[in-house]
């Protein structure tokens, strides 16, 4: 059981400078401490497997400083209602956020396509930096249509320009546009609030802290990352911007919404702490 005990401790507790334990590390630790004269990593692996232990795996989690309260659940319910209720003809719900620091990463030699004989796409390892762009995007939760614009920076100024773009792009018969956003200052600064006062067509709905998963545009960003940025190779920032807008146009040709329901969200929220009575 010594191997299991070590696996269930942090390496630092044993005086080791390791992020996580691997089977070979545990084997060496057992030998260093004189617990066994000799043991192989494969033997350690079998011992851990019998106890369903994999200490080399990591999973991010959040230990809340304060319990989730009534305000948290109020925001959650507000957004889920927006995603699932029947919308009037004059309404639209858009999930909005930014995908930042998109780099062209221009390769020093041209990328070569896949070839017969099981030969993969070849990408030059070295590249030169050409700055970065910020993509502002809005995902229509009912149609799946995406609105996007790229900028050099991410400030209130650029966000207001993006709101102006939405204002002229969305048909005039949509008189109430619900925007689901996170809580960064870019989205609710003084200049943005002043702009919103002059444009009552827009209603802001902010996700609770640490709930980026509730913003549906993040799901679309995942698709963008896999299909367009898995291999970054653009001539320059202008080329990158052009290709991003082209991707959005092609997505919109066959756009589709994501399947959100009150039932699926209830499953996720079931693990959340119970709201304490006031």
Angle in degrees, 0-180, between the axes of helices 237-253 and 217-228, rounded to the nearest 10: 120
**Residue 166, in any domain of the structure:** yes
Contact 100, 134 (CB under 8 A): yes
258 inside domain: yes
| 117 and 200 assigned to the same domain | yes
Q: Please check whether residue 214 is in contact with residue 180, taking contact to mean a CB–CB distance below 8 angstroms.
A: yes
Helices (H) and strands (E) in the chain, counts: 9, 7
Provide the CATH number for the domain around residue 87.
Answer: 3.30.420.10
Q: How many domains does the chain have?
A: 2
Q: 44 is in which domain, residue-wise?
A: 2-50
Q: In this structure, are 184 and 94 located in the same domain?
A: yes
Q: Give kind and range of the element (H or E) at residue 23.
A: helix 23-32
Structure confidence by residue, pLDDT tens digits, 120-156: 888 888 888 889 999 999 999 999 999 999 999 999 9
Domain-located, residue 55: no
> Tell me: the pLDDT tens digits for 77-97?
899 999 999 999 999 999 999
Same domain for 192 and 113, yes or no, is yes
Whether residue 156 is found in the same domain as residue 46: no
| Dihedral of the alpha carbons of 41, 46, 50, 55, in degrees to the nearest 10 | 30
CB 243 within 8 A of CB 234: yes
The reply to whether 61 falls in a domain is no
∠ at Cα 168 (162, 174), nearest 5°?
A: 110
Residue entry with tokens 């030969």: 119
pTM of the model: 0.78
In this prediction, residue 273 carries a pLDDT of: 46
pLDDT tens by residue, 228-266: 998 888 989 999 999 999 999 999 999 999 988 767 666
- Under the banding of pLDDT at 50, 70 and 90, the label for residue 213 is confident
**What does the pLDDT read at residue 49?**
95
274 within domain boundaries: no
Task: Answer yes or no: do 37 and 77 share one domain.
Answer: no
């Amino acid at each position: 059981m010594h191997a299991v005990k070590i696996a269930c401790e942090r390496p630092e507790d044993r005086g080791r400078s390791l992020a996580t334990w691997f089977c070979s590390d545990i084997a060496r630790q057992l030998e260093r401490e004189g617990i066994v004269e000799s043991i192989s990593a494969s033997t350690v692996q079998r011992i851990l497997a019998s106890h369903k232990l994999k200490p080399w795996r990591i999973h991010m989690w959040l230990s809340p400083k304060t319990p989730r309260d009534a305000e948290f659940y109020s925001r959650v319910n507000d957004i889920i209602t927006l995603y699932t209720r029947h919308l009037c003809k004059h309404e639209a719900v858009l999930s909005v956020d930014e995908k930042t620091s998109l780099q062209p990463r221009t390769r020093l030699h041209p990328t070569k396509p896949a070839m017969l004989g099981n030969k993969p796409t070849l990408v030059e390892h070295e590249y030169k930096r050409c700055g970065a762009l910020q993509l502002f995007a809005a995902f229509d939760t009912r149609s799946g249509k995406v609105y996007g614009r790229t900028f050099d920076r991410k400030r209130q100024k650029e966000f207001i320009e993006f709101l102006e773009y939405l204002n002229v792009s969305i048909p005039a018969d949509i008189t109430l546009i619900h925007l689901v956003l996170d809580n960064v200052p870019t989205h609710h600064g003084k200049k943005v609030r002043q702009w919103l006062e002059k444009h009552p067509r827009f209603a802001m709905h902010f996700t609770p802290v640490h709930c980026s998963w509730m913003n549906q545009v993040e799901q679309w960003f995942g698709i963008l990352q896999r299909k367009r940025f898995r291999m970054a190779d653009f001539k320059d920032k202008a080329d990158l911007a052009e290709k991003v807008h082209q991707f959005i146009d092609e997505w919109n040709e066959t756009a589709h919404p994501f399947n959100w329901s009150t039932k699926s969200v209830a499953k996720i929220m079931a693990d959340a702490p119970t709201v304490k009575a006031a």
